[in-house]
Amino acid sequence: MSLDHALLVSLLEKPSSGYELARRFDRSIGYFWHATHQQIYKVLARMEEAGWISGELQAGEAAPDRKLYSVSRAGRSEVARWLAEPTEPEGVRDSLMVKLRGAAFGEAGALIPELEHHRALHANRLTAYRVIEARDFSGTLDRQRALQYQVLKSGIRYEQGWLEWCEEAIALLHGHEQDPPRREKK
């Protein structure tokens, strides 16, 4: 498991409260590792217990109290350990693909709106990434920025691939739209 490590890296980049992390996981890091706030609070509590991070309570004047976490020495060495340890690629799980195979046994045309929805979402993400790219990663980059940019580039490639694939799939289904659904028995 690795939400732990995603949070540690996030906290190395910037000490934060659970809430801040949760919002960061709706953008930025969250594009490559999503998590809900409940999950985040749970893992933060566990990591504080384990001594990887320490939380400092800050009484807010004009804002609610918040607990600012930062990575301890033990947490840093845990990150180093984890970096050195090999990881296998995550298994893919994509329900659209399953649906497309399932479409052979139903109304394939019914999937077109779904595909168009996905195309729109991926197009939006791609645009968002392009904006970030232009804003944060033009000109010369220091080491940290260069690495972050490389991560962003994988996102760009990914969304672009999806976009093209969606177009193809939509065209395919349009071609088959009039065909009767395949039936195996009566």
Chain residues 156-175 in contact with its own copies, contact rule CB under 8 A: 157-158, 161-162, 164-165, 168-169, 172
Compare residues 46 and 153 and give the one whose CB is closer to DNA: 46
Contact between 176 and its own copies by CB under 8 A: the answer reads yes
Q: How far apart are CA 80 and CA 71, in angstroms?
A: 12
Task: Report the alpha-carbon distance of residue 39 to residue 76 in Å, rounded.
Answer: 21
122 binds its own copies (CB under 8 A): yes
Site for DNA in 103-162 (CB under 7 A): none
CA atoms of 147 and 109, how far apart (whole Å): 42
Query: Between residues 19 and 82, which has the closer beta carbon with respect to its own copies?
Result: 82
Give whichever of 95 and 178 is closer to DNA, judged by the CB atom: 95
Does residue 34 belong to the site contacting DNA (CB under 7 A)? yes
Nearer to its own copies, 121 or 128 (CB): 121
- Output 131 or 146, the one with its CB closest to its own copies: 146
Residue 107 phi, psi dihedral angles, 5° rounding: -80, 100
Site for DNA in 37-96 (CB under 7 A): 37-39, 41-42, 44-45, 60, 62-67, 91, 93
Is 139 one of the binding residues for its own copies (CB under 8 A)?
A: no
Rama region for 139: left / alpha / beta (φ>0; ψ in -120 to 50; rest): left
- Rounded distance between C-alpha atoms, residue 87 and residue 136, angstroms: 29
88 alpha carbon, distance to own chain's centre: 17
Kindly tell me which residue out of 50, 117, 167, 174 binds its own copies, with binding defined by CB under 8 A. 117
Residues 36 and 136: their CA atoms lie apart, in Å, by 26
In 3D, which of 62, 10, 60 has the Cα closest to residue 35? 10
> Minimal distance in Å, beta carbon 31 to its own copies?
7
What is the C-alpha separation between 40 and 109, in angstroms, rounded? 40
Rounded to the nearest whole angstrom, what is the least distance from the CB of residue 137 to its own copies in the complex?
13
